[in-house]
């Protein structure tokens, strides 16, 4: 492991913690089984809810009769969609397509009149126990009138069976990203190729399912909502709208969250439903999702049909790509927006002057999407990397060389892409060289030659990955800034209240490291509180690799305010100037005379107790709330109408080595390496952990994970025995190095980590499998590269007569 | 709950006899979590596949979502809450924290129990052995890398403990904790 020394940031304190491998704060809670997740919350008098779901993917709901369920002892309530309509309003969209000129549809917590996917909630039961509630669902009679089911985007994305009244077709929105003279690029091209990549529907599947506890306080007429959620404040806005309750009457608490990856961004019907039931019954109500329900939420299903123009030297001069995304039914979570960002992110870190990238985002009778780690950008990386490898294959040129010739050079940053993204910094050539050296690329190729002579199919796959991070989507509560309060008590201990949340990645520890350095206390003296709208300043939670970037940035700003006050008071007490002070671990001393020092506690105590004497020059209380808005985001359209929604762009180079068994279609991942650049690193262990987890997710996406529906729209892969995620034995030990090119646009130089890795690893594995099977003339177009898909591709290649 | 169905069963959980009145359909995981308040055992799938709810029953790892409480009558059950000795973490717990073998922590109790069983059966496993032994548990955050590291580190620590066993004053578990600055 090597970490390059980064440039000294402006006016930063001497760093003790930032950049070091600190252990997770309160990690003992987790290993002792003391962490409290939503399913661990027990409130006095709490009831349990279960949800009846539609067995039809598309149907009119003629009637719902809950009367027999209500007759069952232990059942407290049973409600239909009609009942719920009286008690709640629609669930507002996290990102309403209408904001961008698309179509929208009303989403309610329980379906009214019509269902548009199998699994859509139609009724709910509340009972004394979860068992009783689930059993009573059978007693609810629902009469459906089935309608024609459409599971694939209709040809030309027009027509087909219409999901929503008032829509002329099922296309939610169509967005073009066109730049340069594409016609000319293709007319003048020395070479062209066309091909296709079909990405399966898959999902994030955190090990903790969703779950909510709503607790209505009858006397205060207020609601406390405990939920496995990523965005407490924006969720409060949603529930306020749905319930018709002022935001001040709603408190959202995210306890420990057992993984998110986007799935726990809000808009799910059960959020408002559980609150409605609690208010109706004036008792706490808990709903814990079961695993089958978790799998109803999908993501990522897209088909890319592309044409590429390039010259003899391997330089790509033009790209056409027609993307069709099957986003299922339109839900209120921010799922559909992923496909928007897939198109926006082309052509990643390559200089391609002419492009015509179009995306059609189409609703079908599959379950709705929610955000999934990578948020659509993973698909861009997969497809771009397949394109580059196809170019290399056609020219019989080394894949690394084609990348080198098309990469943005490190002296070209900031670099504006065709879609208007302003990439902050990077060194893609450097990262590529590092990755090749780390993995011993030339030796791998020699090994491949040797094994091919034995009839074995070793494949080596490279992938570059660019991940726009820290995004801000205008007109939505997807914000690119965040807020932190830092306060120091009279004993010199620090409490940090932050608007960012953690689903486990460790940002609380990173934020504490930043604050401890800024105010000069030891890490143990910093407590971080997050995920509670009753305590924390308004913030936006967890998405888009933003927690260190803006959570850390705002924490640093607030901590600097505290430091400034401490410095003024300490300077008076030590008879010197603030500039002459050094902040250590709980000690403030004179630079010119380190023996002249004071415990930070003494200074903090003095701020409150000598407010009219020694500390008169500062406003008392050591507390500051600050917002950090990174540079580089701009929502004022440029001359071409483009906006720039991201402050930073992390990058990575992945390399996968696989062996494919051409008899069985089984792919064995033998080695995997990645060089990752997320700018300034706050805690290398956590960055590595995030990347390792993302790589595993990408390997699963590449090889095995798929949500498969039958022809009627029922989900077949609704459990871990059929939805196949990598286990420890399926993966090699990952090889990893860091590269650090700090972002010039963020306070700490950090670029965000956590989202990156899925698309890069998926692409590296896909390129490796294609490389392995190249001697058979195979090109794999359908993801995942599961044994059936691999065997089908081998068979099709054989039918065509092998190598073309 | 229907009174006529109630069964009295006594489980010995983390060394303490715990009599329970449960329905026959009560799952062991629900009895542990809801009747005994031991919520460290987490439920990830309730289908016996993810391994999060793994506990030890008479020393053997068991998915507590696939066993009824009444089947565990008279058995010794160890949950994640029973691994530490008071303030002193079990060496595998200490290693999980030290190596950042957890992120969200939800699958962690199951991995710890599977890891404890592995190290009892094979005190000196190699990496492939650890990966194979943990293949019954799913983690979505870590990619398993740091989990494997932690199990191997705990095995190393235990091997050192055996080497120095003749020096009674050396408390290796305390050393592990001290090394981690707790």
Residue A682, phi-psi category: left (phi > 0), alpha (psi -120 to 50), beta (remainder): alpha
* Cα–Cα distance for residue pair A444/A685, rounded to 1 Å: 28
Contact A719 B145 (CB under 8 A): no
In a domain, A107, yes or no: no
Task: Give how far B26 is from chain A: nearest CA, Å.
Answer: 10
Mean pLDDT of A416-431: 97
Let me know: does A484 contact A624? Beta carbons within 8 Å: no
Contact residues, chain A, for B96 at CB < 8 Å: 27, 30-31
Q: Specify whether A775 is located in the same domain as A657.
A: yes
Residue A158: predicted pLDDT: 53
Let me know: does A589 contact A596? Beta carbons within 8 Å: yes
Mean pLDDT of A452-473: 97
Mean residue pLDDT of chain A comes to 95
Mean pLDDT of B162-173: 58
A690-732 pLDDT tens trace: 999 999 999 999 999 999 999 999 999 999 999 999 999 999 9
Alpha helices in chain B (DSSP H): 28-30, 91-98, 108-121, 127-133, 145-163, 172-179
User: Strands B76-78 and B7-13, how do they pair?
Assistant: parallel
* Cα–Cα distance for residue pair A96/A679, rounded to 1 Å: 32
The SS3 assignment for A125 reads strand
Contact residues, chain B, for A202 at CB < 8 Å: none
Q: Specify whether A487 is located in the same domain as A437.
A: no
* Cα–Cα distance for residue pair A773/A663, rounded to 1 Å: 12
Residue A5: predicted pLDDT: 38
Question: What's the CATH number where A575 sits?
Answer: 3.30.365.10
Domains in chain B, ordered, with CATH? 1-82 (3.10.20.30), 83-182 (1.10.150.120)
A449-459 pLDDT tens trace: 999 999 999 99
* Structural domains in chain A (count): 2
Q: Specify whether A612 is located in the same domain as A512.
A: yes
Can you give the pTM of this predicted structure?
0.95
Contact A693 B45 (CB under 8 A): no
**Residue A467 in contact with partner chain B when CB distance is under 8 A:** no
User: Strands A114-115 and A59-65, how do they pair?
Assistant: antiparallel
**Residue B77 in contact with partner chain A when CB distance is under 8 A:** no
| Better-predicted residue by pLDDT, B168 or A707 | A707
pLDDT bucket at A161, cuts 50 / 70 / 90: confident
φ, ψ of residue A164 in degrees (nearest 5)? -125, 140
Half-sphere exposure (CA, 13 Å, Cβ side) for A254? Answer: 33
Q: Specify whether A533 is located in the same domain as A438.
A: no
pLDDT bucket at B159, cuts 50 / 70 / 90: confident
Task: Write out the two tokens for A176.
Answer: 């073009």
Mean pLDDT of B52-79: 97
Q: Specify whether A648 is located in the same domain as A774.
A: yes
* Cα–Cα distance for residue pair A349/A466, rounded to 1 Å: 6
In a domain, A445, yes or no: yes
In a domain, A553, yes or no: yes
Residue A14: predicted pLDDT: 62
A340-388 pLDDT tens trace: 999 999 999 999 999 999 999 999 999 999 999 999 999 999 999 999 9
Give the number of other Cβ atoms within 10 Å of residue A801's Cβ.
8
Residue of chain A minimizing CA distance to B36:
A40
In a domain, A353, yes or no: no
* Cα–Cα distance for residue pair B137/B49, rounded to 1 Å: 8
Task: Write out the two tokens for A543.
Answer: 């998405």
Strand segments (E) across A372-470 = 415-416, 422-423, 457-469
In a domain, A656, yes or no: yes
Helix (H) or strand (E) holding B127: helix B127-133
A76-131 pLDDT tens trace: 999 999 999 999 999 999 999 999 999 999 999 999 999 999 999 999 999 999 99
Mean pLDDT of A485-514: 96
Nearest to B141 among A504, A727, A728 (CB): A504
In a domain, A154, yes or no: no
Q: Specify whether A658 is located in the same domain as A737.
A: yes
Residue B3: predicted pLDDT: 64
Task: Give how far A177 is from chain B: nearest CA, Å.
Answer: 34
A177-212 pLDDT tens trace: 999 999 999 999 999 999 999 999 999 999 999 999
Task: Write out the two tokens for A255.
Answer: 């306890």
Please list, residue by residue across A434-459, b when 16 or more beta carbons sit within 10 angstroms of its beta carbon and e when fewer do: bbbebbebeebeeebeeeeeeeebbb
Of A599, A628, A657, the last residue of a domain is A628
Task: Write out the two tokens for A761.
Answer: 């690893």
Residue A11: predicted pLDDT: 44
Crossing angle (nearest 10°) for helices A269-281 and A232-243: 60
**Residue B118 in contact with partner chain A when CB distance is under 8 A:** no
A16-75 pLDDT tens trace: 899 999 999 999 999 999 999 999 999 999 999 999 999 999 999 999 999 999 999 999
Give the ipTM.
0.95
Q: Specify whether A666 is located in the same domain as A732.
A: yes
Let me know: does A258 contact A99? Beta carbons within 8 Å: no
Domain that holds residue A727: 377-386+397-405+412-470+643-800
* Cα–Cα distance for residue pair A67/A778, rounded to 1 Å: 59
* Cα–Cα distance for residue pair A397/A632, rounded to 1 Å: 37
Residue A698: predicted pLDDT: 98
Of A628, A656, A672, the last residue of a domain is A628
Substitution target from B27, B133, B143, B146 for chain A, most A beta carbons within 10 A? B143
Helix (H) or strand (E) holding B61: strand B60-63
Q: Specify whether A569 is located in the same domain as A718.
A: no
Let me know: does A282 contact A275? Beta carbons within 8 Å: no
Q: Specify whether A795 is located in the same domain as A680.
A: yes
B13-43 pLDDT tens trace: 999 999 999 999 999 999 999 999 999 999 9
Judge if the upstream peptide bond of residue A286 is cis by omega within 30 degrees of 0.
no
Residue of chain B minimizing CA distance to A203:
B140
Contact A696 B142 (CB under 8 A): yes
Task: Write out the two tokens for B148.
Answer: 């494997």
Question: Out of A134-138, A490-494, A507-511, A635-639, which region has the weakest mean confidence (pLDDT)?
Answer: A635-639
Contact B102 A31 (CB under 8 A): yes
**Residue B21 in contact with partner chain A when CB distance is under 8 A:** no
Q: Specify whether A439 is located in the same domain as A458.
A: yes
| Position A448 pLDDT exceeds 90 | yes
Tell me B89's DSSP state: P
Question: Which one, of B7, B18, B8, lies nearest residue B75 by Cα?
Answer: B18
Residue B2: predicted pLDDT: 59
In a domain, A129, yes or no: no
| Position A13 pLDDT exceeds 80 | no
Contact residues, chain A, for B24 at CB < 8 Å: none
Contact residues, chain B, for A31 at CB < 8 Å: 80, 89, 93-94, 96-97, 102, 105, 108, 112
Which residues face A308 on adjacent strands? A193, A319
Helix (H) or strand (E) holding A76: strand A75-80
In a domain, A137, yes or no: no
A612-642 pLDDT tens trace: 999 999 999 999 999 999 999 999 999 988 9
Give the number of other Cβ atoms within 10 Å of residue B5's Cβ.
11
Contact residues, chain A, for B150 at CB < 8 Å: none
Of A579, A605, A628, the last residue of a domain is A628
Contact B143 A206 (CB under 8 A): no
The SS3 assignment for A276 reads helix
Q: 């892409």: which residue's tokens?
A: A417
Q: Specify whether A422 is located in the same domain as A552.
A: no
Contact B45 A261 (CB under 8 A): no
Q: Specify whether A428 is located in the same domain as A526.
A: no
Residue A802: predicted pLDDT: 57
Half-sphere exposure (CA, 13 Å, Cβ side) for A240? Answer: 13
Q: How many CB pairs under 8 A join A and B?
A: 188
Which residues 291-320 of chain A have a CB within 8 Å of chain B?
A: 291
Residue A31 Cα distances to A470, B43, B46, angstroms: 31, 16, 21
Question: Which one, of B61, B91, B110, lies nearest residue B153 by Cα?
Answer: B91
Nearest to A33 among B80, B143, B148 (CB): B80
Residue A804: predicted pLDDT: 47
């Amino acid at each position: 492991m090597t970490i390059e020394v980064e440039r000294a940031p402006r006016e930063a304190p001497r760093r003790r913690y930032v950049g070091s491998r600190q252990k997770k704060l309160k990690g003992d809670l987790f290993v002792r089984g003391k962490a409290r997740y939503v399913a661990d919350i027990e409130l006095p008098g709490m009831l349990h809810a279960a949800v009846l779901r539609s067995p039809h993917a598309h149907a009119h709901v003629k009637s719902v009769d809950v009367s027999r369920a209500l007759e069952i002892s232990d059942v407290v309530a049973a409600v239909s969609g009609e009942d719920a309509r009286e008690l709640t309003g629609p669930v507002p969209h996290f990102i309403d397509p209408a904001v961008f000129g698309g179509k929208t549809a009303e989403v309610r917590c329980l379906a009214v009149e019509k269902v548009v996917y199998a699994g859509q909630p139609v009724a709910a039961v509340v009972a004394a126990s979860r068992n009783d509630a689930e059993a009573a669902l059978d007693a609810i009679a629902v009469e459906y009138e089935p309608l024609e089911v459409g599971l694939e985007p209709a040809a030309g994305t027009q027509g087909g069976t219409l999901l929503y009244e008032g829509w002329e077709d099922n296309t939610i929105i169509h967005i073009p990203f066109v730049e340069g003279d594409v016609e000319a690029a293709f007319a003048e091209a020395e070479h062209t190729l066309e091909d296709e990549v079909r990405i399966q529907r898959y999902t994030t599947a955190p090990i903790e399912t969703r779950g909510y506890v709503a607790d209505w306080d009858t006397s205060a007429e207020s609601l406390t909502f405990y939920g496995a959620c990523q965005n407490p404040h924006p969720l409060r806005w949603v529930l306020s709208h749905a319930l018709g309750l002022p935001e001040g009457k709603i408190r959202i608490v995210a306890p420990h969250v057992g993984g998110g990856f986007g799935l726990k961004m809000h808009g799910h019907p059960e959020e408002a439903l559980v609150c409605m039931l609690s208010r109706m019954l004036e008792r706490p109500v808990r709903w814990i999702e079961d695993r089958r329900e978790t799998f109803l939420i999908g993501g990522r299903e897209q088909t890319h049909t592309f044409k590429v123009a390039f010259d003899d030297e391997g330089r790509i001069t033009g790209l056409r790509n027609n993307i069709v995304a099957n986003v299922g039914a339109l839900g209120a979570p921010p799922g559909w927006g992923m496909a928007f960002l897939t198109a926006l992110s082309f052509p990643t870190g390559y200089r391609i002057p002419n492009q015509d990238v179009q995306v059609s985002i189409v609703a079908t009778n599959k379950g709705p999407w929610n955000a999934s780690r990578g948020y659509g950008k993973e698909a861009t990386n997969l497809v771009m990397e397949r394109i580059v490898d196809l170019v290399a294959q056609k020219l019989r040129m080394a894949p690394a060389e084609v990348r080198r010739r098309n990469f943005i050079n490190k002296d070209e940053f900031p670099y504006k892409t065709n879609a208007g993204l302003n990439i902050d910094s990077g060194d893609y050539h450097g990262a590529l060289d590092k990755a090749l050296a780390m993995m011993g690329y030339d030796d791998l190729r020699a090994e491949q030659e040797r094994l091919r002579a034995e009839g074995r199919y070793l494949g080596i796959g490279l992938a570059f990955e660019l991940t726009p991070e820290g995004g801000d989507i205008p007109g939505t509560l997807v914000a690119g800034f965040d807020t932190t309060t830092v306060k120091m008590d009279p004993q010199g201990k620090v409490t940090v209240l932050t608007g960012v949340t953690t689903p486990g990645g460790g940002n609380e520890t990173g934020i504490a490291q930043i604050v401890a350095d800024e105010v000069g206390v030891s890490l143990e003296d910093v407590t971080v509180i997050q995920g509670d709208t009753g305590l924390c300043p308004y913030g936006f939670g967890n998405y888009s690799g933003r927690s260190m970037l803006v959570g850390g940035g705002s924490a640093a700003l607030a901590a600097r305010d505290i430091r400034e006050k401490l410095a003024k008071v300490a300077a008076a007490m030590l008879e010197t100037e603030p500039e002459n002070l050094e902040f250590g671990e709980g000690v403030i001393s004179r630079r010119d005379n380190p023996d002249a020092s004071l415990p930070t506690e003494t200074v903090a105590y003095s701020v409150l107790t000598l407010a009219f004497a020694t500390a008169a020059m500062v406003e008392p209380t050591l507390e500051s709330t600050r917002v950090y808005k990174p540079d580089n985001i701009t929502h004022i359209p440029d001359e071409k109408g483009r906006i720039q929604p991201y402050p930073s762009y992390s990058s990575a180079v992945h390399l996968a080595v696989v062996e494919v068994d051409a008899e069985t279609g089984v792919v064995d991942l033998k080695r995997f390496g990645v060089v990752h650049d997320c700018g300034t690193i706050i805690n290398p262990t956590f960055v590595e952990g995030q990347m390792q987890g993302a790589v595993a997710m990408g390997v699963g996406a590449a090889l095995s994970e798929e949500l498969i529906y039958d022809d009627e729209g029922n989900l077949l892969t609704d459990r871990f025995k059929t939805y196949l995620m990598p286990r420890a034995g399926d993966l090699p030990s990952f090889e990893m190095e860091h590269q650090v090119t700090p972002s010039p646009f963020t306070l700490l130089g950090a670029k965000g980590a956590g989202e990156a890795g899925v698309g890069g690893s998926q692409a590296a594995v896909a390129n490796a499998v294609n490389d392995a099977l190249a001697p058979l003339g195979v090109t794999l177009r359908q993801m995942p590269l599961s044994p059936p898909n691999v065997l089908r591709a081998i068979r099709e290649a054989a039918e065509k007569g092998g190598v073309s | 709950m229907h009174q006529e169905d109630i069964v009295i069963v006594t489980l010995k959980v983390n060394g303490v006899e715990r009599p329970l009145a449960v329905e026959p359909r009560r799952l062991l995981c629900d009895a542990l979590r809801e009747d005994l308040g031991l919520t460290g055992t987490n439920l990830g799938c309730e289908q016996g596949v993810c391994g999060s709810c793994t506990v030890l029953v008479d020393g053997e790892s068991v998915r507590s979502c696939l066993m009824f409480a009444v089947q565990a009558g008279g058995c010794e059950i160890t949950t994640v809450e029973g691994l530490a000795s008071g303030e002193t973490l079990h060496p595998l717990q200490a290693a999980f924290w030290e190596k950042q073998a957890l992120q969200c922590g939800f699958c962690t109790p199951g991995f710890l129990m599977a890891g404890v069983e592995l190290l009892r059966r094979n005190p000196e496993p190699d990496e492939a052995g650890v990966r194979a032994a943990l293949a019954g548990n799913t983690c979505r955050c870590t990619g398993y890398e740091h989990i494997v590291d932690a199990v191997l580190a705990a095995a190393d620590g235990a091997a050192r403990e055996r080497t120095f066993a003749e020096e009674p004053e050396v408390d290796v578990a305390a050393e592990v904790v001290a090394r981690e600055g707790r």
